[in-house]
Amino acid sequence: MAISPFEERYKTEMNGILDDRHKMERWMDVEIALAKAHAKLGTIPKDAVKQIQEGKKKVRFERIIEIESQIHHDLMAMVKALSEQCGDAGRYVHLGATSYDIEDTATALIFMEAVDLLDKHLDELAKVLKALALTHKNAVCMGRSHGQHAVPTTYGLKFALYYQDLLRNRERLAEARKRIAVGKMSGAVGTMATFGEHAFEIQSLVMKELGIQPAKVTNQVVQRDRHAEVLFVLALIAAGLEKIAKEIRNLQRTEIMEISEPFSAKQVGSSTMPQKRNPHKSERICSIARLIRANVITALENIALEHERDLTNSANERAIFGESFIGVDYMLLQINGILSDLRFYPENIKRNLDLTHGLIMSERLMIALTEKGVGRQEAHEKVRTLAQKAFNEKKELKDLIKSENLFSDAELGKLFDYGTYTGQAAKDVYHSLF
């Protein structure tokens, strides 16, 4: 039985990138790159590389676990398991390296794969948001501030806003990818002593083989600000997805019910209340976002390791890296599914626009009064007074201002037409998408 929900319940394609088997594969890839560098410089026989490459194909994950149970060191367990399969070339596996030369370099490769998968799913979501923004660019709805009805807006503008949020996060993710794509072959405490006069060449050759850059300087580990930056960007992405999910949750409230998550024919909302249509997918997104944010704190604390390194980052990184990447990937897949089949209720959207008897057009009315020669402050006070009366007496604001004989019926009809008071919303949508 899985302990973490990310092992089964929230499992995605990302699990294959972050799991221990793939990590061991990447560790061995770094070992092979190191052997190639040594062979090129003549510090080990050239045919040793092929033996190590062939040895990797024969290594069983179960054997690594078996050795680790005896020696209590996972990296060294991999080295021993690989060496067993390399014949005489086994003596050259891990030559000159310390554990985190292999681990941190492999982590960069894994992070790059994980980022690329996330970006693929972000791109898919961007297309969905763009389509929604275009489809609903003129769909007038109630704009709200402080939870109160404000003035009309459009659903297109909402989705355009989310689209731009997503683009910024894609840019941040690309920048973080650049800074995480580094490795090291600097040995214990970072002095490169074990690699001798060929140290910089070995490091350069290894990183070139793996397609990443050598870190400019390290101690025994690649510095953890790089990893913290990636997790912070993941938290920003999670917060952006939560932003969308929270809006869906609020707009799905029974009293509002303008949009909702898709709800299948056999879906159950509650074990005791058969009528319930809970926005549980959106709520789950908001819940996981809290975990992703919390992991950033741990990643930040990992930056200040003692002296040239300690091991206080190691145990928690086994949790926070996987949780954060898998969690965000799951959130992306969920929100994509929700938005691709989002339900709209036009009659409720119209009902909510009409709910306050025209009060949402108070701002427009105030501006119209100034155009009639009324001072701005006087106009504000007049409309405020009439709005209070309309609210208290449940009367239409349009009828109350009509009795003032300041506007013709045609002018009032235009002033209280919600669809003509969305400003540049439609143009904003186009500007944000193209």
pLDDT digits (tens, 9 = 90+) for 287-345: 999 999 999 999 999 999 999 999 999 999 999 999 999 999 999 999 999 999 999 99
Look up the CATH superfamily of 15-261+277-349.
Fumarase/aspartase (Central domain) (1.20.200.10)
Element (H, E) at 78: helix 74-84
When mean pLDDT is compared across 16-25, 43-52, 268-277, 376-385, the lowest value belongs to 268-277
Looking at residue 274, what is its pLDDT? 75
pLDDT at 276 over 80: no
The CATH code of domain 359-415 reads 1.10.40.30
Rounded-to-5 percentages of helix, strand, coil across the chain: 65, 5, 30
- Rounded Cα gap, residues 172 and 418, in angstroms: 38
Query: Annotated catalytic residue: which of 73, 270, 408, 431?
Result: 270
pLDDT at 71 over 70: yes
The CA distances from residue 387 to 353, 382, 383, in Å, are 16, 9, 6
Instruction: Read off φ and ψ for residue 159, nearest 5 degrees.
Output: -70, -35
Find out whether 282 and 249 touch, Cβ atoms under 8 Å: yes
Domain limits of the chain?
A: 15-261+277-349, 359-415
Compute the half-sphere exposure of residue 103: CA atoms within 13 Å on the CB side of its CA.
Answer: 20
- Rounded Cα gap, residues 29 and 89, in angstroms: 16
Q: How confident is the model at residue 21 (pLDDT cuts 50, 70, 90)?
A: very high
Counting other chains too, the contacts that 258-267 makes at CB distance below 8 Å and 24 or more residues apart are 258/141, 258/142, 258/344, 258/345, 258/348, 258/349, 258/352, 259/342, 259/343, 259/344, 259/345, 260/342, 260/343, 260/345, 261/338, 261/342, 261/343, 262/337, 262/338, 262/341, 262/342, 262/343, 263/343
Catalytic residue flag (residue 264): no
Sign (positive or negative) of CA dihedral 367, 368, 371, 375: negative
Looking at residue 265, what is its pLDDT? 66
Catalytic residue flag (residue 287): no
- Residues 168-190 pLDDT 10s: 999 999 999 999 999 999 999 99
Average pLDDT over residues 221-226: 96
Q: Give, in degrees to the nearest 5, the angle at Cα 28 between 27 and 32.
A: 125
Mean pLDDT for the chain?
95
pLDDT at 122 over 90: yes
Judging by DSSP bridges, how do beta strands 182-183 and 213-214 pair with one another?
parallel
pLDDT at 273 over 90: no
- Residues 90-101 pLDDT 10s: 999 999 999 999
Nearest to 12 by CA among 327, 287, 348, 355: 327
Instruction: Read off φ and ψ for residue 306, nearest 5 degrees.
Output: -80, 135
- Rounded Cα gap, residues 283 and 209, in angstroms: 44
Share of the chain above pLDDT 70, in %: 99
The CA distances from residue 14 to 25, 228, 241, 318, 333, in Å, are 15, 19, 18, 15, 11
Nearest to 292 by CA among 315, 322, 251, 263: 322
- Rounded Cα gap, residues 389 and 397, in angstroms: 8
Nearest to 15 by CA among 325, 287, 376: 325
Average pLDDT over residues 6-31: 96
**Number of Cβ atoms within 10 Å of the Cβ of 165:** 18
- Residues 235-256 pLDDT 10s: 999 999 999 999 999 999 999 9
- Rounded Cα gap, residues 270 and 284, in angstroms: 15
Looking at residue 349, what is its pLDDT? 98
pLDDT at 225 over 90: yes
Helix 314-340 vs helix 280-301: angle between axes, to the nearest 10 degrees? 150
Element (H, E) at 67: helix 61-71
Query: Annotated catalytic residue: which of 69, 72, 145, 146?
Result: 146
